[in-house]
Amino acid sequence: MTEPAAASGPDGGRVSMAPASRLPDQAVPDRTAAERAGSAFLEHVGGMALLLSGSVRVLAKRPIELREIANQIEAIGVKSVPLGLITGLFVGMVMALQFALSLTQFGGLEYTGRIIGLSFSRELAPTLTSTIVGSRIAAGIAAELGSMAVTEQVDAIRALGADPIKKLVMPRLVAATLAMPMLCVLSLTVGILGAMAVCDLQFSLPAGFFLSTALDATFLADFWNGYLKTPIFGMIIALVGCHYGLGTRGGTEGVGRSTTHAVVVTSVSILLADFGLTNLYALLIPK
């Protein structure tokens, strides 16, 4: 019995592979700090976008979490009323004091009501209230959900077949979106009253004259320009708090980190959103 003929070629027809040690080294270059920061930013934005889309998807899915939404409106909105009132009152009083002192030097004290009414309606009441009150809300959400995440309560919800987004994220998102406009109106009202009291008691500018000039200078478009920002601010607050809360790792130390990040990111996000929304509403809402 003859042996089969060997295949032609130096290796008998077999394809030879170079040893792994002979392959050229392909070192992965280290990313720069800017690249890492950009990647982390996109990752966080993508995570919050997924939370938003998931919340919209389960919003009308039965059973509707009406009881939990009501509880969150109380926790987010009602319990934030004192902070919102204090914010609006003292900001209004300080702004009235600053403008009255400056305008008195030029003989323009009677314009104080116009400036306060316009600036409070368009910018100060919605933005400052959302920033200060929103930091409190985002910190509370991040701490609560972060504690649930590190104690594996979120995993337990998944194990029971429930959706954490429907149970935890959606009620907070709806509650914050509904609560922030109401807090803005309260802050605006108290701020105008505080400014009116300062001008009347300290600068002898009649309260009726202050109020009438403020209403004459403030149009409905100015009110909507500021008021329509607040639902967006509320949505941002809830998304940031839920994102950092659900992503908490590392025990109680991780909860502290998530809470701090939620406060900082909420404040910066509201200011960035305020700039973009102001430009957008200036085009969409004619005066």
Q: Is residue 126 part of a domain?
A: yes
The tally of domains found in the chain comes to 1
With residue 97 as reference, give the H or E element that holds it. Answer: helix 81-105
42 token code pair: 């996109």
Domain that holds residue 276: 65-284
Residue-wise pLDDT for 7-52, tens only, equals 444 444 444 444 444 445 555 556 787 777 788 888 888 888 898 9
Query: What is the Cα–Cα distance from 170 to 148, expressed in whole angstroms?
Result: 16
Q: What global pTM score does this model have?
A: 0.84
Residue-wise pLDDT for 172-186, tens only, equals 999 999 999 999 999
Q: Is residue 142 part of a domain?
A: yes
The answer to whether 130 touches 237, Cβ cutoff 8 Å, is: yes
Residue-wise pLDDT for 202-256, tens only, equals 998 999 999 999 998 888 888 898 999 999 999 999 999 999 999 988 888 899 9
Query: What is the Cα–Cα distance from 132 to 109, expressed in whole angstroms?
Result: 30
Q: How far is residue 262 from each of residues 59, 222, 235, measured CA to CA in Å?
A: 24, 30, 13
132 token code pair: 């200060």
The answer to whether 163 touches 58, Cβ cutoff 8 Å, is: yes
Q: Is residue 169 part of a domain?
A: yes
Residue indicated by tokens 């009132």: 85
Q: Is residue 25 part of a domain?
A: no
Q: Is residue 45 part of a domain?
A: no
Nearest to 170 by CA among 242, 272, 263: 242
Query: What is the Cα–Cα distance from 168 to 157, expressed in whole angstroms?
Result: 10
